[in-house]
Structure 1
Amino acid sequence: MTKNTVIGIDLAKSSFAVVVLEQGGREHSKKTFRREGLKRFLIRQQPSTVALEACGSAHYWGRFLESHGHQAVLLPPQHVKGYLRGQKNDYNDARAIAEACLHGAIRPVRIKSQEQQDEQAFHAIRTQIQNDSTRLVNQMRGLLAEQGLSVPRTVASFCKRVPELLEDAQNGLSGRFRELLNRQLQRLYELRGELAWYDERIQHQARTDDTCRRLKAVPGMGPIVASSLKSWMGDGRQFSRGRDASAALGLVPRQYSTGGKQSLYGITKRGDKHVRALVVHGARALLRVAHTRNDRLSQWALAIKQRRGQNRAVVALANKLVRIGWVIIARQESYQPTPSA
C-alpha cells in the first residue's frame, strides 16, 4: 500500500467489512474481519487514511487508529449514503465510505476524547433518571385518579401528598393498593437520591472546572447547561466560528431556496436534542427576567420579543448563547457583559 491509500471500514458489532482504495479510486483489496482480526490488520498497515462512519463506536476506533499512526476520518452517515452504488451490503457500504473520504468534500466529525464521552455518558444517565422519576409519578397519578384521588403533578408535591394518602384510613384505598403505592414511593425516593448525587457532582464541576466557571457567568447558563454544552462542544476547534456551532446544534433557520428566492423556515433541530433543549430552557429563563436587567444582551432579546414574539425571541437568544459559549470555550475568553446604551 502507498501513503495515499484510503481504507474504508463498515463498522458493526462483530463483523467488519474493509475496502482499500488507491488514490485514483481503484480498488486494491477487500476483506471481512472479526474485531481482534481488524485490530491486527490495522496495526500491520503503514500509516494510512482510514474512513469510518460516525456511529456509536466510531470515536473509540478513531482513538485506536490515531494511537497507531493512522489518520482517522469520521464521516456523517447521511452524507455517505449518496456515494453508495448498487445493492446495499457491507462491502458496498465500506466502498462508499472510502470514496466519500477520497472525494474530500464532506466535513469530517471531530473525534471525541475519552473525557468528553464520559461527560456525555454522565448527562445521559442523569437524564434517564429524571425521565424514570417523571414516568413513575405520572403512572401513579393515573392509578390514583382511577381511585378517585387527585395528586399534584410535580415530583416534590407527589412525595408530599402520597404519605398523607397512605396514612388516611378513610380515603377508600384497599390494603393491596396501599402496599403497591408505598413500594413505588420508596422507589421514587431512591431515584431522587440518585439524582441528588448527580446534581452534586455537577455543582462540584461548576466550582472547580475553569471552563464551566466561565460559561456559568453567561446569563441563562447555569451549572447543568454549562456542563452539558462543554461536554458536547469539547474544545470547540471543530467549528471555525460561533454560527457553525449553533448550526450544528440545530438553532438556525431551515432553508429551501431556489431561483434566487430565499425561503427560510423554522429551525433545523439538528444535533444533540438534549443539549439544544437545555440551552433553549436557559434562554427562556433569561428572557423571563430580561426586563429587570440593563445589559445589551437582555435588551436585544426584549426587542426581538416585541417585534417577533416570545418563541422566536427564545430561539434567537438560545442561538446567541451558543455563539457566546463557543467564544468562551474555543478562544478561552471570559464573558464581559455590555451595559445597554
Structure 2
Amino acid sequence: MNTSVIGLDIAKNIFHLYTLNADNKVIKKKLKRAQVLTFFANYPVSTIGIEACGSSHYWARELTKLGHEVMLLNAKFVKSFVVGNKNDFNDAQAIFDAVSRPNKRVVAIKTEVQQDMQLLHNLRQDLVKRRTAVVNQIRGALLERGIAIHKGVDQVRKQLPDILEDAENGLTALCRELIAEQAERLRELDKVIKEQDKRLGRLSQADALSRRMLDVPGVGPITATIVASDIGDGKGYTSSRDYAASLGLVPGQHSSGDKPRYLGISKRGNRYIRTNLIHGARAVVKNCAGKTDQLSRWLQSLVERRGFNKAAVALANKNARILWAMTTKNEAYQGAPA
C-alpha cells in the first residue's frame, strides 16, 4: 500500500479531497471536474479511496491509468466514519479514515465490458417490471368487472384472448378496447424481453468467464453474465465464503454472552444476483429426484432433513462459492463425481 493516502469525495461537478502531508498536517482541496485528472497526473503516486457510487468506476479506471492505487469502498462501511454533520469535506475525511483501516469493505473496479453487461441487465429488469405492471393492471381492471384471472403472466396470456372474444361477459365496448390495447402492449414487452434474453445468451457465450460458469448446475445465461460483471477478478474477497456472505447467502448472526444464535439468511448485498442463484438452485433441486450423482444424492438428503427451500439456498450458497473459485483460479467447472 502506498504511504500517501487520499480520501476523494466525487460528485457531478465539484470534487473534495482530504489527505495528510509528511508533517501530518491536514490538506483539504476542492477540484472542479475538468481539473481532477490534471491534478492527479502531477501528484505523487498515492492510494486513493473513493466511495462506490455513480461514476466511481469511471474515475477509478482513469486514476489507475495515471499510476495511482484506487480503492472503491462500500458506502455503508464509509458512513460509520463520518464525524460531525454531513458535508463534502467530512465525507472525504471519512473516506480517508476508512481506506486507512486494515479491514476494508472494498468493491471491485468494473471494466467497461462489465458495466455494459450490468446496463443490459438493468434495462431488462425495467422491462420485466413494466410487464408486471401491465399484467396487474389487466387483472385488476377485469376483477372490477367480475372476471378473475389467476396470478402469473402465462395465465393472462392464456385467458385474455378468450375473455376479449366473449361477447356475453358484460364488458363494455370501451373497456374491451382499452384492455385489448394493454394486451398489445404486453405482447410488445414480451417481444422486447425475448430479444434481451437472446442478447444475454450471446454475451454469455462471447465472454470467457460467463461461458465457463454455464457448466455449473443452476447457472444460466442471466446468472452467468451478472455474476461475471459483478465479481470482477474475485480478489476483492478473501475467500469463497466471503463472496457468498456478500450476497446474503449465509445465516445472519445475533449472538451475545458467548452464546451463538443464528438466524435465516442475512439478505445482504446484491438482491438480484442472490435471487437468480436461488431460482436456478430451485430448478436443480426440483429435478434431482431419482438421480444417483453425488450432487443429487446430497440434495435429496438435504431436502429430506431440512426441506426444499433450505436445500435450494444451500445449493445457491455452494454455487456462489464455486463461481468465486472458478474466477480466482481461472479454471473450468470440474463437477461432482458420479
Q: TM-score, normalised by structure 2?
A: 0.92
Map of 2:8 onto structure 1: 9
Map of 2:151 onto structure 1: 153
**Which runs of structure 2 are paired with 1:247-266 in the superposition (5 Å)?**
247-266=245-264
**Two-structure CA RMSD over aligned residues (Å):** 2.1
Amino acid at match of 2:179: L
Map of 2:88 onto structure 1: 90
1:250-272 residue CA offsets vs partner (Å, 9 max, x unmatched):
11111233443222211111111
Map of 1:297 onto structure 2: 295
SS in 2 for 1:139: helix
SS in 1 for 2:100: helix
Alpha carbons of structure 1 residues 270 and 175: separation in structure 2 relative to 1, 3 Å: same
Map of 2:185 onto structure 1: 187
Alpha carbons of structure 1 residues 220 and 69: separation in structure 2 relative to 1, 3 Å: same
Map of 1:72 onto structure 2: 70
SS in 1 for 2:191: helix
Whether the 8 Å contact between 1:6 and 1:23 is mirrored in structure 2 is: no
The Cα of 1:37 is off from its aligned counterpart by: 3.0
Amino acid at match of 2:278: V
Select between 131-140 and 68-77 the one with higher mean Cα deviation: 68-77
In structure 2, how many angstroms separate the alpha carbons of the residues matched to 1:225 and 1:126? 13
Question: How many positions carry a matched residue from both structures?
Answer: 337
Q: Please say if 1:246 is aligned against 2:267.
A: no
Amino acid at match of 2:260: Q
Whether the 8 Å contact between 1:255 and 1:264 is mirrored in structure 2 is: yes
Alpha carbons of structure 1 residues 213 and 69: separation in structure 2 relative to 1, 3 Å: closer
Map of 2:213 onto structure 1: 215
Q: Tell me, which stretches of 5 or more residues in structure 2 are unaligned?
A: none
The Cα of 1:23 is off from its aligned counterpart by: 5.8
Q: TM-score, normalised by structure 1?
A: 0.91
Whether the 8 Å contact between 2:244 and 2:317 is mirrored in structure 1 is: yes
The Cα of 1:38 is off from its aligned counterpart by: 2.9
The Cα of 1:278 is off from its aligned counterpart by: 0.4
Select between 266-275 and 328-337 the one with higher mean Cα deviation: 328-337
SS in 1 for 2:59: helix
In structure 2, how many angstroms separate the alpha carbons of the residues matched to 1:304 and 1:223? 27
Amino acid at match of 1:11: I
In structure 1, how many angstroms separate the alpha carbons of the residues matched to 2:22 and 2:319? 43
Whether the 8 Å contact between 1:9 and 1:18 is mirrored in structure 2 is: yes
Amino acid at match of 1:81: K
* Identical aligned residues as a percent: 41
**Which runs of structure 2 are paired with 1:1-341 in the superposition (5 Å)?**
4-22=3-21, 25-27=24-26, 29-339=27-337
In structure 1, how many angstroms separate the alpha carbons of the residues matched to 2:138 and 2:151? 10
In structure 2, how many angstroms separate the alpha carbons of the residues matched to 1:155 and 1:60? 38
In structure 2, how many angstroms separate the alpha carbons of the residues matched to 1:239 and 1:39? 29
Whether the 8 Å contact between 2:234 and 2:327 is mirrored in structure 1 is: yes
Alpha carbons of structure 1 residues 74 and 213: separation in structure 2 relative to 1, 3 Å: closer
Select between 282-291 and 305-314 the one with higher mean Cα deviation: 305-314
In structure 1, how many angstroms separate the alpha carbons of the residues matched to 2:104 and 2:238? 15
